[in-house]
Each structure stands twice: as C-alpha cells, then as structure tokens.
C-alpha cells in the first residue's frame, strides 16, 4: 500500500472510530434521557394515581357522611311524624270529650267563668254573647246582671252557637270578638301542653 493510501486509510478509521464513539455517546444520552422521562412519567403517574385515589377516598367519605346525615334526618323526621300523630290523636280525643264537661255538677260555675273571661278579654262597654244551648241555660238574668254590674258593661244574649261548647263574646258592631269555647281554649293550650302530654305518652315522669 502506498504511503498516501495508508494515511487515508488510517484517517478514515480514526474518523469512523470517532463517529462511532459519538454515535454511542448520543445513543447513551438518548437512552438515559428516555429512562429519565420514563421514570418521571412513572413518578407523575404515581402522584396522579395517589391524587385520584385521595380524591376518591374524600368523595367516598363525603358520600358516607351525607348518607349517614340523610338517614339520621329521615329518622328524626319519622320520629317527629310519629310524635305529631300521637299528639294529634290525643288532642282530637280530648276535643271529642269536651261536650261531656257540661254534665259536670259545677258546669254552671264553669259557664259563668267562661263568659266573664270572654267579656274581660273583649274589653268593650257593651257586648253580645253567643253560647251553646246548655251554656245559655246557665246564663240566667241574675248571672248577666251580676256580670254587667261587675264589669260595668251592657250585655245581651244573641242567637246560640251552631257548634262549639262555651261562649263567644263580640262587640255590637261585630268588629271584635273573643272565642272562649272549650274547643278553642284547647287549641290555645296545645302549645304549652304538648311537651307534658308527650312525656306522659312516653311513660316519663313530669
């Protein structure tokens, strides 16, 4: 081989060797970069998976709390509904027995107090009284005169009540009235009696 040709061959080999080394270095760096990307992707995927699982756990806990709260609310509502039904039944039963009060031996005194209380609440110089038939019998002329003098009020008896036990007092112009029937009194008392009645229903001591 001629000296020149030999030099070219050596130069070519050196260049190829250098090129091969650079190619291997590039390949090595590319592989390292790819591995880094893969590892980073795995880390990111793990983090995202952890975040997703965390959100899912929080959502599951929230849904559980909502379900528990909803069940508790439904339980309370059912309890209140049951309580209200029992109280309603008691007051309805009591209301149905109110007319029997007129059979009590002291009903004339009760009727007197019903009228007196109604007139005091009305607070007028004159009043008209409407009463059921039994109560009206107790409101004799002497009773009305006694009330008229005591309260300094003109009192007249009007047509009887079509329903209810007791009296309704109203002004002569009809603009004001006070319902003092036993049925209305029971309704007015329900608010204060509810707790006591329920305790009794539950067998609790007052």
Q: What is the model's pLDDT at position 2?
A: 55
Range of the domain at 197: 104-201
Q: How does pLDDT run across 56-83, given as a tens digit for each residue?
A: 788 878 888 887 887 788 777 777 777 7
* 153: in domain: yes
| CATH code assigned at 182 | 3.30.2320.30
Question: Does residue 206 have a pLDDT over 70?
Answer: no
Q: Which residues, including other chains, have CB under 8 Å from residue 153's CB and lie 6 or more apart?
A: 119, 124, 125, 126, 127, 147
* 84: in domain: no
pTM: 0.60
* 190: in domain: yes
H-run or E-run covering 66: helix 3-97
CA distance 157 to 166: 13
Contact 92, 138 (CB under 8 A): no
């Amino acid at each position: 081989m001629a000296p020149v040709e030999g030099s070219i061959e050596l130069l070519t080999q050196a260049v190829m060797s250098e090129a091969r080394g650079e190619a291997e270095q590039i390949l090595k760096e590319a592989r390292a970069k790819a591995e880094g990307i893969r590892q980073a992707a795995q880390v990111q995927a793990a983090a995202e998976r952890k975040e997703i699982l965390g959100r899912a756990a929080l959502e599951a806990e929230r849904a559980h709390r909502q379900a528990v709260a909803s069940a508790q609310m439904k339980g309370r509502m059912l309890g209140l509904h049951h309580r209200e039904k029992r109280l309603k039944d008691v007051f309805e039963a009591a209301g149905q027995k109110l007319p029997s009060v007129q059979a009590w031996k002291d009903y004339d005194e009760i009727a007197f107090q019903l009228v007196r209380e109604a007139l005091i609440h009305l607070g007028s110089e004159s009043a008209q009284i409407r009463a059921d038939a039994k109560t009206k019998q107790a409101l004799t002329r002497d009773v009305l005169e006694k009330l008229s003098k005591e309260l300094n009020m003109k009192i007249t008896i009007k047509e009887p009540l079509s329903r209810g036990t007791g009296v309704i007092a109203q002004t002569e112009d009809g603009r004001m009235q006070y319902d003092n029937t036993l049925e209305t009194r029971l309704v007015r008392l329900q608010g204060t009696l509810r707790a006591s009645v329920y305790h009794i229903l539950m067998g609790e001591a007052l």
